[in-house]
Structures are given as C-alpha cells and as structure tokens.
Structure 1
C-alpha cells in the first residue's frame, strides 16, 4: 500500500494527514498543544483513535511509546549511531522492526526478520514535511505509519538541538 504522509504547516501542535495513492484521506494525527513531551492521537478518517503516541522523557535515547486501546503496544527507540539513523520498533514477541536510513536524505527502510517491509522517502519540493511510504501488504500499516511520525519528530528535535 502506498501512502502520502504530510505535516500541516499552520498548526500550533504537530498535525499530520495521511492519504492513500488516490489522495483520499485515510488517517489524521493530532498533537497536544501544551504537554510535557510529544503526545499525538492517531485517528482514522472518522475520528476513531487507532493509536496514541507518547514521548518518554526520562531516557538517554529518544524513546516513544505507541498505545492501542489504552494498552502499551510498542516502543520506538532511536539507536546511537554515527553516520546513519537507526531505530527499533519493539513490538511484543519476535515481530520487531529495524529501521535504518539517512538523517540527511530522509530515506528509511523498515525490515522485519531480515525482509524489507516498508520504504519511506521525503519529498524535497514540498512546503511542509511530506513523505511517501510504501508498505508491503499484510504488514501493520498503523504501527509503521506511527513510527514514521516518530522519526519525523526525532529528526526535528535533532535539528533544533
């Protein structure tokens, strides 16, 4: 499945819209304006919350938790590395994803069990942060898209010091 993830420019909080290949709105991500750390609600087009993303503040590495129906579902952690960006999407059981890419070119590959399951690339000719996300059929689209949001948030934090 191919998605277009786009951050809204004129918004007080982090707000994203995710569309399918035919430009139909599929998901909306709304950030909380006044909160300690990033907190975002990942909703379907009808406003039903599918996931909640929360930044964990007391951590040596950038770390975010993804909740589903109020329960901790997964954790996204930025790993230390010198020249490439590495993240882990830690989900229960042996289903973890490793994400690697380039901070400068904003190209990322998601792998699970040694197999590429998603690819993300940034559009440089857009006014706001815009990413193309290709996900292999049968994968957890919400978990992967929520992780893309986390990567964007972490990259902006890195740029801002």
Structure 2
C-alpha cells in the first residue's frame, strides 16, 4: 500500500504542483494548462518524464475525462447521475472500475468488481483542495493518480456551476 498527497495552489490560472509520497518527497508533478473551456493537464515523474495526459470532453451532459498514458494505455472517467453520493465509471483498458463517494464528497472508494483497489480522502478543513490517495493495488498506481486529478476537477467544476447559478 502506498499513500500520496495532493495540494493545489490557492491562486491559479495555470497550476504546477507536486504529488508527495508518505515521506513528503516530491514524486510526481501536475502541470495544468490554461484553457477557457475544458481541462488539460500533464503528469510527469520527478525527472520530468511525461507519464500521462488528461483531457476533459468539452460538450457532454456528464463530465468525461480521457487519460492517455505514455505506455499506450488509456482510461475514460465518466460521472454518473446520482442524488446522494458521487458515482463515477472508469474504463481502464477495458477493465471496468467504479468510484463511489459518501454523502459529503469527502471519502471515496475505487473498486474493481468487489475488491477495493484504492481510496481517496479530501481534507475538510483546508484553504485549498487537499487529497490523500491510498493505493491498495499498486498495479493501478498511475490510473488512481489520474482519477484523483479528474475527481478534483469534477468537484471544482460542480462548485463553479453551483456558485454561478446561485447568483
């Protein structure tokens, strides 16, 4: 089992921040491109080697992300309609994974069939989005990192929509 920590910057137009391991070492780096619509980012290792790219589908009823890994693997992350908890379907190279969250969107489990392969926890009291990723099945390390980044963008987009509709 491995744990990773994500903490975004407070003010951002573009974003560049590290993903830390349990010992607070910088292991991966997230570089978010500036876009008026959609979302684009690249994740690199500590040596600057790109590991995967994330692109968000611009026009879609449900938020959808496409992840292309440097080794040729690919993943699609798609939110589903749900009233009491967040549900996300993931297709990783034909394998079906599922993310489900609690009522307050602070804790999530990722499952392959009935087996939990990872957990994502969002810190409640923090000025910026802060997540802990627990990778239980290390075979899914990079896909779970990509999923955490996609989930964060889904929550950010949902918060922006809620704020704009309230005004």
| Same fold by TM-score greater than 0.5 | yes
Question: CA deviation digits over 1:72-95, x for unaligned, max 9?
Answer: 6010000111111001111123x2
- C-alpha separation between the residues in 2 aligned to 1:96 and 1:28? 27
1:50 and 2:51 are equivalent in the alignment: yes
Mark the CA change 1:117 to 1:98 in structure 2 (over 3 Å): closer, same or farther.
same
The RMSD of aligned alpha carbons is: 1.8
Partner of 2:153: helix, strand, or coil? helix
TM-score of the two chains, using structure 2 as the length reference: 0.88
Aligned residues: 160
Query: Which is helix-richer, 1 or 2?
Result: 2
Counterpart mapping for 1:2-13 below 5 A? 2-13=3-14
1:123 and 2:123 are equivalent in the alignment: yes
Mark the CA change 1:92 to 1:41 in structure 2 (over 3 Å): closer, same or farther.
same
- C-alpha separation between the residues in 2 aligned to 1:57 and 1:38? 8
TM-score of the two chains, using structure 1 as the length reference: 0.91
Question: CA deviation digits over 1:60-80, x for unaligned, max 9?
Answer: 210000012385601000011
Partner of 1:12: helix, strand, or coil? coil
Contact 1:117/1:139, CA 8 A, preserved across alignment:
no
The answer for unaligned runs of 5 or more in structure 2 is 162-167
Partner of 1:143: helix, strand, or coil? helix
Between 67-76 and 106-115, the greater mean CA deviation after superposition: 67-76
Q: Compute the displacement of 1:25 (Å).
A: 0.4
- C-alpha separation between the residues in 2 aligned to 1:98 and 1:137? 14
The answer for unaligned runs of 5 or more in structure 1 is none
Q: Compute the displacement of 1:124 (Å).
A: 2.1
Partner of 2:145: helix, strand, or coil? helix
Counterpart mapping for 1:76-91 below 5 A? 76-91=77-92
